[in-house]
Chain A
């Protein structure tokens, strides 16, 4: 069985603060994929990043960075110097790689960046 836990339901930060969104996952698969998606107030779901289970290298893209740690089954997302445009619901997701693809989303973390 797969499970994704995003324990933070809502976070509020003041603009320019750094914020980390937590994601903890469970899976019995040895090969799997982790993702982050952003859902701004307009409602669309935007793919942000994919991480393969065999690649624990952390990634930075502009103000966004991701920390993948297999030892703690976590895939955390940090926004540096947050901006109002970062206000959104962020979803962490987990997928296996088998023929019967199972995709599980976390319950989302709503981030509000206050100007």
Chain B
């Protein structure tokens, strides 16, 4: 059973296009995240949602827009893609203390986005 899944796994597109990445978790967690991992492996949090509400919005260009239709799904839409958006994007979920559980995060397999 896949706990956190993302689609697509690979995304190659041209500058200026708009694209979306989808994420779903079946762990029953209330909190989901988007991270960006650059070519140097640096992981940076972009957004966090708790029960469909945005709770973290780091300094990210407003071309990036997350949407959470329900607490099991968190999608990321990117407008007007730029070369610098090329990276691996990870979705994650966390129990964040729910029902006595911990604060660790469980990550999806990642989406490698290449903008040409």
Contacts and interface: CB of A to CB of B under 8 A. Distances in A.
Q: Do A and B bind each other?
A: yes
22 contacts: A33-B102, A39-B41, A43-B88, A43-B110, A44-B109, A45-B90, A46-B107, A47-B105, A47-B106, A89-B41, A99-B55, A101-B48, A101-B55, A101-B96, A102-B56, A103-B33, A103-B45, A105-B42, A105-B43, A107-B40, A108-B41, A110-B41
Interface residues of A, number: 23
Nearest to B55: A100
Interface residues of B, number: 24
A50 B104 contact: yes
Please classify the interface of chain B as helix (H, G, I), strand (E, B), loop, or mixed, using the class held by over half of its residues.
strand
A103 B44 CA distance: 9
A99 B30 CA distance: 13
B56 A101 contact: yes
Given A43-B88, A43-B109, A97 B41 contact: no
B49 to A, nearest CB: 11
A47 B56 contact: no
Interface in A32-66: 33, 35, 37, 39, 43-47, 50
A35 B104 contact: yes
Nearest to A96: B103
B48 to A, nearest CB: 6
Interface string B87-104: 010101000110000111
A86 to B, nearest CB: 17
A67 interface: no
B25 interface: no
Nearest to B44: A105
